[in-house]
Structure 1
Amino acid sequence: MKPPKRLDGRVALVTGASRGIGAAAAKALAAEGAHVILLARTKAGLEETYDSINENGGTSTIMPFDLTHLDELEALGPTILERFKRLDIWVANAGKLGTLTPVSHSKIKDWRDVYTLNVLSNVQMIRTLEPLLKASDAGRAIFVGSGMGVDPYAFYGEYGVSKAAVMFLARTWAEETKHTNIKINIVRPGAVDTELLAEAFPGGYHAEGLRMPEDIASMFVELSLPSCTRRGETVQPEDFNL
């Protein structure tokens, strides 16, 4: 008989699960026994994550969804409840970089596109997922932040402002739920070898010396455990000796 895993019986939702940090987090959660709902805009990338999880003895479900369709997001919570009967863990990872340009040269449409995915989709998901996470005996929500949301970088305004907003959103929600079973935290992963980082630093990007997404995936497991006591914190790999 196999020994129990730390997340046996838990259901997790990971957005942006088709690649990078989201895919690595999903695989790590599944390896610890969680059933992982894989959400991203395109099905093809999700299939790669799904296959990897299954090959390693885990279980997952593919759920292609465009998070910028905010009105349709309202049905996500009820859909998860109907299909899976519960939700214990939510990893809010999906995001986009936007256009690298001075603020004075930027376009309102580009700001709107970035803000819709990086911020407003998470607001809508909080609204639809909170009842499920409250119903869990140990609801956990983990938002992926960024140092660009703390310290300003020239030409990265769209991304930096959106990340500052989503981190403040997470901390606000953590305050609002501090007397519940939900624990909400933020991961600031630092420089990780992902497509988004390569896009952020065109021409000057190289992977040598960077952490890989798999190197930080254990952070998401630790913050998802029923035994986790952190609440409203922003954590970095160094906090977990990674």
Structure 2
Amino acid sequence: MTSSLNLSGRVAVVTGASRGIGYFIAKELAAAGAHVVAVARTIGGLEELDDEIKAEKAISGKGEATLVPLDLADGAGVDRLGGAIHERWGKLDILVANAGVLGVISPLGHVEAKVFEKVMAVNVNSTWRLIRSVDPLLRLSDAGRAIIMSSGAAHSAKAFWGPYAASKAAVEAMVRSWADETKNLPLRINAVNPGATRTAMRAQAVPGEDPKILPHPSEIARKIVPLASPELTETGLIFDAPTERFLRYRLPE
């Protein structure tokens, strides 16, 4: 766990928290003392996360979770999330917008309209709606932090990755604009490239790959969670998890 990071008294929203990188980011944030609002569609995964956070709290005395079963395609539900957080805590300190879908690996001309539209709805539209819902709450924090998951695909734009690459490029553009709008506030906003990771999405994208050669999502989560630190100064950048470096708008090939 990220033992040196103290997030006691801080409230964090993590989307896509029922598995993969989001699951382990939620665990790390809770272990650092945060109250994690864990958002995902899969109730079983959320309940497992809650059990692990409670078990860790029994040992360390730190961390709690509130489970929110929610499909981010439910725009009205995302809108209500901000209101519910305001009513209970009056602010939000950390946003981790991690949920996303791959779509298909296919020539652009072969992608079905409904598939393309779902990728944009989940990866772009819901991210914007989430930002809109919690931006006022992050501004009420003394050190608001937003961590928005992107991908190297936004920069490499490789053949057959068009829908996903386009969605992540759009997400990065929103990060840059939002960060520029808030650069004179305590709020710090950055995109993250997690790199190739041992997740279900990666297995879907590259089915013939040996997952054992990839880092476990818990390893990547430990690199990302320090972006939630109140001491962070960087904003409007891309954090490249494989190299653990902040980059300005473009990832290395």
User: Which category of TM-score, normalised to the shorter sequence, fits these structures?
Assistant: over 0.9
Aligned to 1:20: 20
Counterpart residue type for residue 217 of structure 1: A
**SS across alignment from 2:12:** strand
Q: Give CA-to-partner distance per residue, 1:114-142, whole Å, 9 cap, x none.
A: 10000000111111101000000000000
1:59-208 equivalence runs, <5 A: 59-202=64-207, 204-208=208-212
Query: What is the RMSD of the two structures over their aligned residues, measured on CA atoms?
Result: 1.5
Higher mean Cα deviation, 190-199 or 212-221?
Answer: 212-221
Aligned to 1:45: 45
Consecutive unaligned residues of structure 2, counting only runs of 5 or more, are 58-62, 246-253
Counterpart residue type for residue 45 of structure 1: G
What is the TM-score when the length of structure 2 is the normalising length? 0.90
Aligned to 1:226: 230
Per the TM alignment, residue 180 of structure 1 is displaced from its structure 2 partner at its CA by 1.2
Aligned residue pair count: 237
**SS across alignment from 1:75:** helix
**SS across alignment from 1:61:** strand
Counterpart residue type for residue 194 of structure 1: T
Find the aligned partners of 2:244 and 2:13 in 1 and give their Cα distance: 24
Per the TM alignment, residue 212 of structure 1 is displaced from its structure 2 partner at its CA by 0.8
Counterpart residue type for residue 172 of structure 2: M
**SS across alignment from 1:138:** coil
Residues 89 and 133 of structure 1 are in contact (CA less than 8 Å); yes or no, is this contact kept in structure 2? Answer: yes
**SS across alignment from 1:68:** coil
Find the aligned partners of 2:111 and 2:164 in 1 and give their Cα distance: 12
Per the TM alignment, residue 42 of structure 1 is displaced from its structure 2 partner at its CA by 2.0
Residues 186 and 235 of structure 1 are in contact (CA less than 8 Å); yes or no, is this contact kept in structure 2? Answer: yes
Find the aligned partners of 1:173 and 1:103 in 2 and give their Cα distance: 29
Find the aligned partners of 1:72 and 1:194 in 2 and give their Cα distance: 26
Per the TM alignment, residue 86 of structure 1 is displaced from its structure 2 partner at its CA by 2.2
Counterpart residue type for residue 59 of structure 1: E
**SS across alignment from 1:208:** helix
1:235 pairs with 2:239: yes
Counterpart residue type for residue 117 of structure 1: V
Moved over 3 A (4+): none
Aligned to 2:7: 7
Residues 93 and 144 of structure 2 are in contact (CA less than 8 Å); yes or no, is this contact kept in structure 1? Answer: yes
What is the TM-score when the length of structure 1 is the normalising length? 0.94
Identity %: 46
Find the aligned partners of 2:5 and 2:232 in 1 and give their Cα distance: 15
Find the aligned partners of 1:34 and 1:62 in 2 and give their Cα distance: 14
**SS across alignment from 1:36:** strand
**SS across alignment from 2:36:** strand
Higher mean Cα deviation, 159-168 or 6-15?
Answer: 159-168
- 1:189–1:74 Cα change, 3 Å: same
Higher mean Cα deviation, 27-36 or 98-107?
Answer: 98-107
Find the aligned partners of 1:99 and 1:173 in 2 and give their Cα distance: 29
Residues 70 and 77 of structure 2 are in contact (CA less than 8 Å); yes or no, is this contact kept in structure 1? Answer: no
Residues 29 and 220 of structure 1 are in contact (CA less than 8 Å); yes or no, is this contact kept in structure 2? Answer: no
Counterpart residue type for residue 223 of structure 2: M
Find the aligned partners of 2:235 and 2:5 in 1 and give their Cα distance: 23
Q: Give CA-to-partner distance per residue, 1:66-94, whole Å, 9 cap, x none.
A: 10011332221111111233210000000
**SS across alignment from 1:185:** strand
Find the aligned partners of 2:109 and 2:4 in 1 and give their Cα distance: 55
